[in-house]
């Protein structure tokens, strides 16, 4: 029998870390579920769809999402039990309303295919990010720089209305958020090992879940655009 205290501590740390990862991905999956249910319920009420499809209302919902993201990412939120998780739930509901104003434009088949493809891609990348020993910080920085360029092009295309630009940059968007998925998965693994004893781990898991949720959501939306454009071309 091995009574080495260092071995015991190492095994305990790995066990605790696995528990943290399960919690973080569980929160993320729950957030996706809340958004899906909210979007489905809202999409079946024409008055709600009409309301959230309004440009002003969508802008308000978008601003609310940004406020919640910044609030959850603050150091105070990470150290405070309950606030980050409740904010994640509220954010998921708002995102569901936001999505209900977008998803009605697509067929159920396109939505299903995009969701399944996004889920498979996300799981593979999350496992890679969590398990790899390679430092992904360089990839993360490049992906964030590419994301800024992607946002600028998307804003410009709001005025150009170019289907080709939207189609091409949807593929680029998938690559960018795929890289961010692996990067964020590794980042929160490192954060747990370095700061797990200094912050509330439930809140850290909720904040990590939010970032991974955003990665998954954007992969899903870009895939949906690709499938939607493809379906339009076939009709």
Cβ pair 52, 45 in contact under 8 A: no
CA angle, 193 then 195 then 198, to 5°:
135
For residue 214, the model assigns a pLDDT of: 94
Q: Give the Cα separation of 132 and 222 in Å (integer).
A: 26
Q: Say how far residue 121 (Cα) sits from the centre of its chain.
A: 13
pLDDT-wise least confident of 40-44, 56-60, 114-118: 56-60
Taking only the tens place, the pLDDT of each residue in 97-154 is 989 888 888 999 999 999 999 999 999 999 999 999 999 999 999 999 999 999 999 9
Percentages helix, strand, coil for the chain (3-state, rounded to 5) are: 90, 0, 10
Note the pTM of the prediction, 2 decimals: 0.89
Share of the chain above pLDDT 90, in %: 59
Average pLDDT over residues 169-192: 96
Q: Give the Cα separation of 101 and 103 in Å (integer).
A: 6
DSSP string, 115-180: HHHHHHHHHHHHHHHHH--S--HHHHHHHHHHHHHHHHHHHHHHHH--HHHHHHHHHHHHHHHHHH
Give the containing element (helix H, strand E) for 44: none
Q: Give the Cα separation of 63 and 115 in Å (integer).
A: 25
Cβ pair 81, 200 in contact under 8 A: yes
Residue 127, phi then psi, degrees to nearest 5: -65, -40
């Amino acid at each position: 029998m091995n009574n080495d205290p260092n071995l015991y501590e190492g095994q305990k740390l790995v066990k605790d870390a696995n528990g943290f990862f399960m919690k973080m991905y569980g929160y993320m999956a729950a957030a996706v579920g809340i958004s899906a249910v909210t979007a489905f319920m809202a999409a079946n009420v024409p008055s709600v769809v009409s309301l959230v499809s309004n440009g002003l209302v969508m802008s308000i919902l978008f601003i609310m999402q940004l406020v919640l993201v910044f609030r959850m990412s603050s150091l105070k939120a990470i150290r405070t039990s309950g606030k980050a998780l409740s904010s994640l739930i509220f954010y998921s509901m708002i995102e569901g309303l936001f999505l209900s104003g977008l998803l009605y434009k697509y067929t159920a088949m396109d939505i299903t295919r995009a969701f399944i493809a996004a889920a498979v891609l996300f799981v593979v990348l999350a496992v890679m990010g969590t398990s790899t020993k390679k430092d992904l910080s360089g990839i993360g920085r490049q992906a964030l720089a590419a994301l800024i360029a992607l946002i600028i092009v998307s804003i410009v295309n709001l005025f150009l209305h170019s289907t080709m630009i939207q189609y091409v940059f949807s593929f680029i968007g998938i690559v960018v958020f795929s890289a961010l998925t692996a990067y964020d998965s590794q980042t929160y693994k490192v954060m747990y090992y370095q700061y797990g004893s200094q912050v509330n781990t439930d809140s850290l898991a909720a904040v990590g879940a939010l970032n991974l949720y955003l990665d998954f959501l954007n992969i899903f939306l870009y895939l949906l655009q690709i499938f939607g454009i493809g379906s339009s071309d076939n009709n």
